[in-house]
Amino acid sequence: MDILMIIISAFLVILGAYLVSAVAEALQYHYSDTFIACLIALLQTLPEYAFVVHLTLIGEADLAFVSIIGANILLIGLGYPIVIFIAYLSGAKGVKEDKSLDLMRENSVESVFLAISGAYMIFIALKGYINVYDGIILLILFVVYMYIITRLPPEVETEEISGIAKKFLNRKLLSIIILIASVPLIWFSAEEFTNGLVYIKEKYTWISPYLLVVVLAPIVSEMPEKLTAYIGATKNEDMARLGICNFMSSKVNNGTLLFSSMILALIVEYESINVSLSVAHVREFMILAGALTLLGALTTVDRRITLTEGFILIVVYAFLMYSLIEEAYITYSAILMVILGLVILLYAIKDRRFYWISDLKYTLGMIKRKPSASES
């Protein structure tokens, strides 16, 4: 019966993801792609929040940490590289010819905050503990990020909308209702799914709980996001770009707000403002996740993500997964990412394609300002 509930809950999560995907496609005609991507990412990471907070409150904080780390690694190492490959193989115009997916100048916001969240993960790991002040700083970062993207104007869409998304076009109230209804559908279904994973861990003790959580839990909790991005990538470059925005927004979410939520749960559980990362290799894995986040962010400095860079991220992801089994390779994984990051950065500087600073200035200049009384 437990296996049946796992299957049913998985189906309901996918159903909720499909509805959210359709609403997102319709809403992007009215709002910033970045804002829509962040909104969908928030909804779709609800299972991750439920899983992490639940594990923390039942005294499994180490597994909760590993779950967040695994989600971060999956999103960057395997998430958006596959979006690029799907767009290329499906013949998306622009991606097929250039062998790369072009980003917009506004996407510099995600890229920069992605890099900041990755750097802060490394900072926490080097400290060896996490506290309430980290939670406040990360929460502030998320609030600033949300403030920026919610004030960006919508992009002009030229692609014809299709499928069920037509039902939501110019029907904002219905779209909002569907989004609200998707919250309990995705949340409770994913909670049942993750409870099933805990059941499997307890019944089959020969399975490593850390490997189970770092590999399977992120796939479960992030499945809606994968479905949304991959379906969109088969249509056109605009939808593939929205998928990339979705992944990066979710990673910013995981690296800021999700950690803040976990810190609050830790404080409630342990009644202390300082929680040590004392579990074996949790610090090392967090450093690797932060380094991979920085590497993923650096692939966007030239306002595009190439097929080669996507292949590099997948290879690094595979190497990191191997490091979870053969822990002696953790150091080699870190060295590999540092070298790759430096190479990407140096090539961007050499070719004068380091656009982050100029693009971020341009994007901040686009932020809508509230009209004054004389203007209204």
The alpha carbon dihedral of 188, 189, 190, 192 has a sign of positive
Q: Residue written as tokens 């953790």?
A: 330
Distance CA 2, CA 5 (A): 5
* pLDDT of the residue at 298: 92
- Is the separation of the CB atoms in 107 and 362 below 8 Å? no
Distance CA 43, CA 250 (A): 10
- Is the separation of the CB atoms in 250 and 41 below 8 Å? yes
Residue segments in the chain with a per-residue pLDDT below the cut of 70: 1-2, 21, 24-25, 28-45, 154-166, 201, 205-212, 220-226, 228, 269-281, 368-376
278-288: per-residue pLDDT in tens?
655 678 888 88
* pLDDT of the residue at 239: 81
Nearest to 238 by CA among 367, 352, 94, 43: 94
* pLDDT of the residue at 206: 67
Domains of the chain: 2-153+163-365 (1.20.1420.30)
Six token digits for residue 348: 């961007």
* pLDDT of the residue at 79: 82
* pLDDT of the residue at 28: 65
Q: What is the 3-state secondary structure (H, E, C) of the chain?
A: CHHHHHHHHHHHHHHHHHHHHHHHHHHCCCCCHHHHHHHHHHHHCHHHHHHHHHHHHCCCHHHHHHHHHHHHHHHHHHHHHHHHHHHHHCCCCCHHHHCEEECCHHHHHHHHHHHHHHHHHHHHHHHCEEEHHHHHHHHHHHHHHHHHHHCCCCCCCCCCCCHHHHHHCCCHHHHHHHHHHHHHHHHHHHHHHHHHHHHHHHHCCCCCHHHHHHHHHHHHHHHHHHHHHHHHHCCCHHHHHHHHHHHHHHHHHHHHHHHHHHHHHHHHHHCCCEEECCCCCHHHHHHHHHHHHHHHHHCCCCCEEEHHHHHHHHHHHHHHHHHHHCHHHHHHHHHHHHHHHHHHHHHHHHCCCCCHHHHHHHHHHCCCCCCCCCCC
The alpha carbon dihedral of 316, 333, 118, 252 has a sign of positive
